Every structure is written in structure tokens, then in C-alpha cells.
Chain A
């Protein structure tokens, strides 16, 4: 009877035919929307920096999108269980890429985060996120539900994420990616581990720790013990005081948001895209607020929520634990990154470089995000096949009750 209970408690899908079209639609919509906004925000910079080609960024992003969608299609077809075997090589490859940064890294904006192969630059941290999702899902599945409750069982799934996080922090000095990777593994663990207490304890601990660090930095504002990160916290607390240099980006983004009003200045009418550094990148959300207003910004946020809800349905309907966990990883990744991005733009948290999924300019980010979507679709496809099978059984039973026991 276990199976019956399971099927009734599941988040029931309406008719699905192999592919989750709602999911595809939302992703495509976000991508298209992102391209329009990217063109709006980057046309000025493109014209200035790339010889009058105002569509420079748009063209490149279009190329990435096309290639990314193709990749997504391929990955959708690959049965997701394949990643159970590919996860360890993928993890090792990610580590290799990060290590390659040390000798071959390309420095942009003062940070060594990119690898360049024949003019194509990739960001290993983005690859690492995918690797962590498929690897952590595998580890949790191996450990099993009961053993997860032991201390070692609890800590083990975090180990690869911790390794990558430390490496990203040490080698690329990229705190935000490290945090996102830890969050992905942690989110998967949270879903898999049947215990709330330890998570609540950890959350309280994290909040207390953060508060402690902030207080410490504010106290020691003059000696600035934490380098530029400490400085960013000070800017976060009072961006006006640093309006000329470190607070410039934050403040200009706030100006953009504040000046948007309810319905914004209209698409393409942003004045701040000239002022806000990285307007086409980390700060694109501020320009969305300026051009489309509060209404547009909330609509975009709603779109993300819809996307995440679709993911959760897919996870709930997954054929097995591995698929569900992989989707959970993707959910965590996209939601954490979106939340962090919007929080940075609105100066809710200190400034750190996080891109807005599907909308911000950037090939690596888009590529690996679409890879993740491919995995999710693959899970959805498999589960929908199982569902269809189940439906057929139900239909058979209802049609021929005499055959049922």
C-alpha cells in the first residue's frame, strides 16, 4: 500500500507528455526577457567600448544562449542517472580547472577568476557549482537516510563543497561563489536529512556569527582588519559616506531603483545605465527597476518564484532520490543566487559579485545554468514517463476493476 500513499501525497501534475513545457516556457521567457534588458543596459557601454557596436553584448549573449540551449537539449536527453557515474570525474575536472587558474588565470577587474582558451573565457566556479550538485546528490544517496543522522554522515556530503569553497576563496578570492557552493550542498542536505533541530541551531549560530563579525568591523572601522571585505561591510552600512569610491556602485544602483517609480521610465529609458558600473552584469536588476519600475521588478521576482515552484514539483515527482536531490541542488543554486543578487543591488547585504541567473551578461554562468536546467528536465522527463506508466495502471484498474485485487 506504500506506493498508493506515495502517489496520492505527491504533487500531482496535470497531463505531462515527457517534457515539462511550463518549465521550458519560463526558462525561455526569462532568457528572452534577459536579452531585451541586456540590450537596453549594455548598448551604451557596447557603443563606447566596442567601437560603436551597441549590440556587442547582445550578440555575444545571443550566441551563448543558442549554444546553451543546444547543450540543454542534449543533457535533457541523457538519462540523469548517468551523472551518478560522471559526478566524480566532473568534480575532479572542476578542481582541475580551479587549479589551472593559478598559472593561467586571466585577471579582470582585479580578480583572477577566468580561464581563457583560444579567446573563450570560462569561469571555473560556475562549472564547480554543477559538479557539486551532481556529486553531493550522489554522496547523500550513498550514505542513506539513516546514516545521515550520524555526525559523520551529516558532515561527509559537505566535504566536496567545502573543498571547492576553500579553493575558490584561496585561489580566486571569490567569497560569493564559495558561499553559493556551500549553500547548494547545505540545501540538499537540509532536504535529505530528517532533522530540523541541528539546522535551526546552525542557522542561529550563523546569524550570531555574522552579527559578531559586523559589530567587530564597525568597531574597528579605522584599522579595517578584514581588508576590502571589511570595507564593503562599512559601505553597506552607510553607502553615502563612500559615495565617491567604494560606495559608488551601490549608491548608483540605489538611485536607479529609487528613480524608477511604480512603472519605471520605460524600456530603454534608463539614465543610470551610464552611471552604474557593471550595469549589464551584477547590477542589471537595478536597471530593471529603473526602466520597468516596481511593477516590472516584482513581475521578474514572481517569474523566478514560478520557476522555483516548477523545480520543486519536478523534485517531488522525481523517480528516485538522486534525481530529486539533483533538482533540489539546482533549486538551491538558482534561488540563493537570485536572492543574493537582488539583496546586493538593494544594499540589503554587503556588495559582492553575484550575477542574476538567466538575465545578467555572462557566458559561463548561462552555460552551466542551462546545463542544470537540462538535468532538471531530464529528471522531469524520466519521472513523467513513470507517471504516465502509473496513469496507465490507474486507468486499467478503473476500466477493468474485475481484474484488480
Chain B
């Protein structure tokens, strides 16, 4: 080849054939490239700006969306059972019906079957349809709460059976098609109803139920949504009863698939009480009976402002029953009808002498409702204080004997009233009790004698021993809402002669029922002050015991000797010739006890708190009973015998129930009454057992 040939090709003036891509075109191509470059640059700036301005908030957003997938699993709040295993409070598994609208809308054939299924679960179909159309992206909508377990099970069963039937039918149709020589896919599509139910699922939830309703309502308290206990055990043991929430959450594992991890919830611990539902219900029965019999008697309203009873084990401080009327239904604590008949409250929430009618109860404002319901829910036995009256006399006597200020041989003269300082203070027996010894003073409940005793004791020792008996201090019983009473007691330096005198017979200082009962137990059992308690043990959800509340002696109040003397005085106060507590003796038993009639403030208003504080059986005290009737709905309120009668009725049933056999002969009339209650004379049986023991020995 020669250079010339190439040269001639180069010289060719106009090139034929394909047209050229000219230089100006090339320049314009570069312009195009620059435009692209500018666009890319702007997008890069945009990226940087997004990062700079929103990086933090978007990162948070991403993380929060991850959290969206997390779900907390509810725990079961612990059960409360009585000493015999009766369930008083339990948490029941129910379900929330959750709707996933996005899943339902995935295919139009899903909509109707799913809506129908939801309707079957008690969801309003049309409302749900509206919701789904308005929120097509919603994946979590609680359509119904608290679906019972049985309903869910029935639903699950129906759906799974339905799906199985449809699948079987479809398979059969396909087999038929294959037999007919056709392809599987050409088989007739069986109508799908159950298989097309989508986007409905269930979420566990627990609701608190109280199988015994009103039983021991004040003691148990109730728990509201979110497992927060209010009042009583539910509040005091809130943390014990509550468990730890579980959690399921999704995360991406190494192979980038969404994994789900579940941390199971830990259920709460259970409470086993010392309280016995049977004893409790006996107490409540008679308190209610009493309340009903005096209902609307003098004025419209309840039979008493409060009628309450505590039964404790004298030798352990365990509370066997703690009842107060009026009560309420734990399953419906907010029912305002229950406050009707209660005394109206003044600004300080103190009871007045006016009473709420049904109409007034219904017309209460929300704020007032809260006040009245709070008054109703409050446990009278631990949260209200009152002047105990003559039931304090055994305490005064005991501290006198214990400190040696009193001797059994001391004699006191009662002439119906006594001048203390410059005030004449009356005895309950205006005609005068005559000359009495220490025992007689208690038997007759003579105020004048007790005032003289207190004078001998002196304010220093008196006040010190009030503290020994735990008056003015909390007993720290394991119930929420125990009130303080330290402001209602005298200090020795502030105590006038009159104060000391009135204190001696239980006026002018205030106590709670639990203080009186716990203190009295120590007087009876040889001087051991047990801490009153109501929870016997705490068990785990699995049933093993986590903690046991052993009886705990807090202090020695009096000596064994003093205790025995007081016991005898109290027996005499029930059995003696001039005894005030005769009416409290149940047929077939010997008991001891002391009545109380306390004037309320302001004095001479005709309003009284009457009570009976006793123990049974007399020879071997097992239980202490304290009945308080706060302002009976009667013209004459100062009749302690009412409290005695209630105590007698309760003891008549409780003692046989506790397998304490009769020791005293039963009259025919008493036998008749016992038989009406389905009880019988256990004297023979105890003798028979005794003889049996002897023969065995």
C-alpha cells in the first residue's frame, strides 16, 4: 500500500456517505453532560441537606417504627385466697379482638368473610366496615375488648374446622378434575368462606374478678385498669400481686430475616390470707342483719353509720374476719347506689346527722361521688378512729395492776358521780354502785371507780401504758389505709385531772378498732402483743411458697398474772350478777368480754358508739371478737346490749365452725334456737371425744 493513496483519500473535498458528528454538536454534547453534572450536583446537595437537617429525627423515626413491632404481653395479677382456699380475687384471661385492616383489604374476597367473622365475635359489622374503609392502612385496631375464653375457643374451633372442610373439598375437586383428565388448575374452585377470614387476631388480656362479690370488700380492695390496686390488700400488696410484663419483638437476624423473640411475662404472686371466708361471711351476715333491722328506724338511712367486726386469733394476731357495713360490690365498686343511706359528709368528710337519700345519691356531682365512694371504700376497722368507751376499762385496770398502783384488795366507792377538779363526772349508774373492788368495777362498768383507779395510777404511767398497748401508734397491719391516731391521745404534761379521769373509762381519746383488738389479744393471751396480720403467706404463680408471715410478737404488754386477772374480770363482766355483757354469751360457751358505750362529740348529742370486746372460749381463749356499732339508727343509741347481741350471734356460729366444743349446759330454749341455725349441742361430743382420748390412752 502506498502513502499516496492515503493522501488522496485525505484530500477528498466532500465526503460522501454517512454524515459527520460536527464539532458544534460535540460541544453541545458537553453542554448536555454539564447539565447532567449540575443535576447530579444538586441531588448530592439535596442528599447532604436531608442528612444534615433531618438525620437525627429520621433516625429516631426509624427506631420508633421498629418499636412499633414490639408488643407487650400482659402478666396475670396474683390471686387472693382465704385460709381455706376460697378464691376472693382472681384474674381471668380474656381476649381483645384486633383487626388488621390492611390484611383484610389485600383481596376483595377477604372482606365479607372477615367482617362476618368479626360480627360473630360481637363486633358491629357496619361500624367495622366503615373503619376499614376509612383506615385502609391500619394494622392494629381493638374492635372488641374482654372476649371470654370460651367464645374465642368456639370461634377458633369453628374456623379451623371450616378451613379443613374447605381444603378437603378443594382437594376432592382437584382429584375429580384429574380423573376427568384435566389439569389441577382447571378444577372447580370451591367457595371459600373460612379460608378467607383474614386480619382477625386475638390479644391476651386479664380482667380482675372477685368471685365473692361483696365479701370482705373493704379488706380486699379492688384493682382498676393497669393493675393498680386501690384500698385494702390490692393496694398494700400491689407490687407483690403484679408480675412483670412480657414482650415480643422483631429483629433482623444475620440472614436478614425477621425473627421474633418473646420474653414470657412473669405472673404475679398470690396471697393466701389468714382470713376465713366462712367466718367473714358469718360476721357480715349478722352485721347486715342488724343494719337491716334498724334501717330507716329513726330517720331515713342505714341502720348504723358503721357496723364493724374484727375476729382475731388471740395467740397469733392473725385476722380471721374483718367486716364492716355498709359494704360494696368489688365487681362494681363505682356503683353510686351503694352510698345511699350513708350520713352526709361535711367539708372535712366527717359524718353529719343528715343522710343521703337514693335521689340525692343519684344526683351527686362527680366530685361528691368521689368523696362518698371513698368513704364507702374505706375500711372502718383500720381507717376510722373513735372513742372506745368502757372497753378501755380492762386496759386501765391492767396497767394499774401491772405497775402495782392497784391491788386486788383496793376498794372504791361509787355514789353515782365524782367531782374531778371542778367537774362532776357521772357514772353510768346514776344511783351509785356502792363499794366495789377492781373486779367489780369492771363487772359493773363503774366509771367512778375507774376514775379513782386512774387517779392512783397518775398521768405519767397512764400515758406510758397507752403506748405500751399501742394506742396512738399504727399496728402496721398489712392493709392499706391504716390511719394515724397519735393526735388523739394526751401527753402527760397536757393531761388535766379531768382528762385522766375520762380517759380511764375510754372517753376523750381515740383509737382504731384494730388497735383495740390487737391490744386486747395481748391482755388475754398472757401479755404477748402480736402484730395483727391478714396475709398468711405469699405463693408464686406456680404455687410454691415465697414468703410466710409467721406470728410476730412485738412486745410484752403485761405479765402472765395480770393477764389472767384481766381474763377473769372479763369473764365476770359477762357472767357476773351485775354484768353488763351477759347478752354476748352464746349458748353452750363461756366467754369473757367488756361492753363499751361511748358518747361521740359534741357531748350530749345523743349519738353513741356501742361495742363489745370479748374473747372465747373463756377457759382457753382462741379468738378475740370486737363488734362496733357506730350510731345506731334508733331513738336510744346508748345500748351496748345491741353490740353484745351481734357478738353473741356471730360467736354462736363461729365457735362451732372453728371446732370449739361447747362446755356449758344448753337450755331447751337455746337448743331450739341452735337448731334453727342448723347447729346442735356439742357438749356430748366433746365429752365423748374426751372419753375416747382416755380409752386410747
A interface residues with partner B (beta carbon < 8 Å): 3, 6, 9-11, 40, 43-44, 47-48, 52, 54, 81, 141, 144-145, 187, 190-192, 194, 244-245, 248, 254-262, 268-269, 271-272, 274-275, 289, 294, 297-298, 301, 304-305, 308-309, 312, 315-316, 318-325, 328, 331-332, 335, 339, 342-343, 346, 348, 393, 396-397, 400, 403-405
Contact A255/B61 with A44-B257, A294-B47 known, Cβ cut-off 8 Å: yes
Contact A312/B30 with A244-B137, A258-B55, A305-B37 known, Cβ cut-off 8 Å: yes
- Chain B residue with minimal CB distance to A305? B40
Measured CA separation A257–B46 after assembly (Å): 11
Tell me whether B153 is interfacial, beta carbon within 8 Å.
no
- Chain A residue with minimal CB distance to B61? A255
Tell me whether B181 is interfacial, beta carbon within 8 Å.
no
- Tell whether, in the assembled complex, residue A259 and residue B55 are in contact, meaning their CB atoms are under 8 Å apart: yes
Point out the residues of chain B lying under 8 angstroms from A397, CB to CB: 3
Nearest Cβ on chain A to B210's Cβ, whole angstroms: 42
Point out the residues of chain A lying under 8 angstroms from B17, CB to CB: 320
Measured CA separation A6–B25 after assembly (Å): 12
Measured CA separation A11–B23 after assembly (Å): 11
- Tell whether, in the assembled complex, residue A191 and residue B3 are in contact, meaning their CB atoms are under 8 Å apart: no
Contact A258/B21 with A343-B43, A346-B43, A396-B3 known, Cβ cut-off 8 Å: no
- Tell whether, in the assembled complex, residue B23 and residue A6 are in contact, meaning their CB atoms are under 8 Å apart: yes
17 contacts between A and B (CB under 8 A): A47-B256, A191-B28, A192-B25, A245-B136, A254-B50, A259-B59, A315-B29, A316-B21, A320-B17, A321-B21, A331-B32, A339-B39, A339-B43, A343-B43, A348-B42, A393-B6, A404-B3
- Chain A residue with minimal CB distance to B22? A145
Tell me whether B65 is interfacial, beta carbon within 8 Å.
yes
Measured CA separation A257–B59 after assembly (Å): 9
Known pairs A245-B137, A346-B50; list 14 more (Cβ under 8 Å).
A44-B252, A44-B256, A145-B22, A190-B28, A259-B62, A274-B258, A301-B40, A320-B17, A320-B19, A331-B32, A332-B32, A339-B36, A346-B46, A348-B42
- Chain B residue with minimal CB distance to A41? B256
- Tell whether, in the assembled complex, residue A294 and residue B48 are in contact, meaning their CB atoms are under 8 Å apart: yes
Interface residues of B in 245-284 (CB under 8 A from A): 252, 255-258
Measured CA separation A289–B62 after assembly (Å): 14
Interface residues of B in 11-35 (CB under 8 A from A): 17-26, 28-30, 32-33
- Tell whether, in the assembled complex, residue B51 and residue A271 are in contact, meaning their CB atoms are under 8 Å apart: no
Measured CA separation A289–B51 after assembly (Å): 10
Point out the residues of chain B lying under 8 angstroms from A322, CB to CB: 18-19
- Tell whether, in the assembled complex, residue A404 and residue B7 are in contact, meaning their CB atoms are under 8 Å apart: yes
Shortest beta-carbon contacts, A-B, top 10: A258-B58, A320-B18, A324-B21, A403-B3, A321-B19, A259-B59, A335-B36, A259-B62, A255-B58, A258-B54
Nearest Cβ on chain A to B531's Cβ, whole angstroms: 56
- Tell whether, in the assembled complex, residue B43 and residue A301 are in contact, meaning their CB atoms are under 8 Å apart: yes
Interface residues of B in 213-270 (CB under 8 A from A): 252, 255-258
Point out the residues of chain B lying under 8 angstroms from A257, CB to CB: 47, 50-51, 58
- Chain B residue with minimal CB distance to A273? B256
Point out the residues of chain B lying under 8 angstroms from A346, CB to CB: 43, 46-47, 50
Nearest Cβ on chain B to A278's Cβ, whole angstroms: 16
Tell me whether B10 is interfacial, beta carbon within 8 Å.
yes
Tell me whether B44 is interfacial, beta carbon within 8 Å.
yes
Point out the residues of chain A lying under 8 angstroms from B32, CB to CB: 187, 190-191, 312, 328, 331-332
Measured CA separation A316–B30 after assembly (Å): 9
Contact A301/B28 with A258-B55, A259-B58, A346-B50 known, Cβ cut-off 8 Å: no
Interface residues of B in 301-345 (CB under 8 A from A): none
Point out the residues of chain A lying under 8 angstroms from B43, CB to CB: 301, 339, 342-343, 346, 348
Most A CB contacts (10 A, CB to CB) among B37, B43, B57 go to: B43
Contact A312/B33 with A255-B62, A324-B21, A404-B3 known, Cβ cut-off 8 Å: yes
Point out the residues of chain A lying under 8 angstroms from B36, CB to CB: 305, 308, 331, 335, 339
Contact A261/B47 with A301-B40, A324-B25 known, Cβ cut-off 8 Å: no
Interface residues of B in 47-101 (CB under 8 A from A): 47-48, 50-51, 54-55, 57-59, 61-63, 65-66
Interface residues of B in 97-123 (CB under 8 A from A): none
- Tell whether, in the assembled complex, residue B257 and residue A43 are in contact, meaning their CB atoms are under 8 Å apart: yes
Nearest Cβ on chain A to B6's Cβ, whole angstroms: 5
Point out the residues of chain B lying under 8 angstroms from A248, CB to CB: 137
Measured CA separation A48–B25 after assembly (Å): 51
Point out the residues of chain A lying under 8 angstroms from B61, CB to CB: 255, 258-259
Point out the residues of chain A lying under 8 angstroms from B10, CB to CB: 3
Measured CA separation A335–B43 after assembly (Å): 13
- Chain A residue with minimal CB distance to B250? A274
Out of B2, B19, B47, which one reaches A144, CB within 8 Å? B19
- Tell whether, in the assembled complex, residue A400 and residue B18 are in contact, meaning their CB atoms are under 8 Å apart: no
- Tell whether, in the assembled complex, residue B40 and residue A271 are in contact, meaning their CB atoms are under 8 Å apart: no
Out of B2, B20, B33, B44, which one reaches A308, CB within 8 Å? B33
Measured CA separation A54–B254 after assembly (Å): 12
- Tell whether, in the assembled complex, residue B28 and residue A297 are in contact, meaning their CB atoms are under 8 Å apart: no
Contact A271/B25 with A332-B32, A346-B43, A348-B43 known, Cβ cut-off 8 Å: no
- Tell whether, in the assembled complex, residue B47 and residue A298 are in contact, meaning their CB atoms are under 8 Å apart: yes
- Tell whether, in the assembled complex, residue B29 and residue A316 are in contact, meaning their CB atoms are under 8 Å apart: yes
Nearest Cβ on chain A to B157's Cβ, whole angstroms: 28
- Chain A residue with minimal CB distance to B66? A271
Nearest Cβ on chain B to A324's Cβ, whole angstroms: 4
Point out the residues of chain B lying under 8 angstroms from A275, CB to CB: 62, 65
Point out the residues of chain A lying under 8 angstroms from B135, CB to CB: 244
Point out the residues of chain B lying under 8 angstroms from A339, CB to CB: 36, 39-40, 43
Point out the residues of chain A lying under 8 angstroms from B63, CB to CB: 271
Point out the residues of chain B lying under 8 angstroms from A194, CB to CB: 24-25
Out of B6, B44, B55, which one reaches A396, CB within 8 Å? B6
Out of B46, B66, B256, which one reaches A43, CB within 8 Å? B256
Nearest Cβ on chain A to B612's Cβ, whole angstroms: 69
Measured CA separation A318–B48 after assembly (Å): 37
- Tell whether, in the assembled complex, residue A320 and residue B21 are in contact, meaning their CB atoms are under 8 Å apart: yes
Point out the residues of chain A lying under 8 angstroms from B47, CB to CB: 257, 289, 294, 297-298, 346
- Tell whether, in the assembled complex, residue A54 and residue B255 are in contact, meaning their CB atoms are under 8 Å apart: yes
- Chain B residue with minimal CB distance to A323? B21
Nearest Cβ on chain B to A327's Cβ, whole angstroms: 9
Nearest Cβ on chain A to B598's Cβ, whole angstroms: 68
Measured CA separation A366–B401 after assembly (Å): 108
Point out the residues of chain B lying under 8 angstroms from A272, CB to CB: 62
Point out the residues of chain B lying under 8 angstroms from A331, CB to CB: 29, 32-33, 36
- Tell whether, in the assembled complex, residue A9 and residue B26 are in contact, meaning their CB atoms are under 8 Å apart: yes
- Tell whether, in the assembled complex, residue B65 and residue A40 are in contact, meaning their CB atoms are under 8 Å apart: no
Nearest Cβ on chain A to B185's Cβ, whole angstroms: 13
Nearest Cβ on chain B to A44's Cβ, whole angstroms: 6
- Tell whether, in the assembled complex, residue B19 and residue A141 are in contact, meaning their CB atoms are under 8 Å apart: yes
Measured CA separation A233–B577 after assembly (Å): 102
Contact A260/B51 with A272-B62, A308-B36 known, Cβ cut-off 8 Å: yes
Measured CA separation A403–B36 after assembly (Å): 46
- Chain B residue with minimal CB distance to A348? B46
Point out the residues of chain B lying under 8 angstroms from A44, CB to CB: 252, 256-258
Nearest Cβ on chain A to B137's Cβ, whole angstroms: 6
- Chain A residue with minimal CB distance to B36? A335
Most B CB contacts (10 A, CB to CB) among A44, A259, A271, A312 go to: A259
- Tell whether, in the assembled complex, residue B25 and residue A191 are in contact, meaning their CB atoms are under 8 Å apart: yes
Measured CA separation A305–B3 after assembly (Å): 42
Out of A3, A54, A244, which one reaches B257, CB within 8 Å? A54
Out of B29, B48, B51, which one reaches A328, CB within 8 Å? B29
Out of B20, B50, B136, which one reaches A321, CB within 8 Å? B20
Measured CA separation A324–B30 after assembly (Å): 13
- Tell whether, in the assembled complex, residue A254 and residue B54 are in contact, meaning their CB atoms are under 8 Å apart: yes
Point out the residues of chain A lying under 8 angstroms from B24, CB to CB: 194
Out of A258, A304, A315, A400, which one reaches B51, CB within 8 Å? A258
Nearest Cβ on chain B to A293's Cβ, whole angstroms: 8
Nearest Cβ on chain A to B595's Cβ, whole angstroms: 73
- Chain A residue with minimal CB distance to B35? A335
Nearest Cβ on chain B to A400's Cβ, whole angstroms: 7
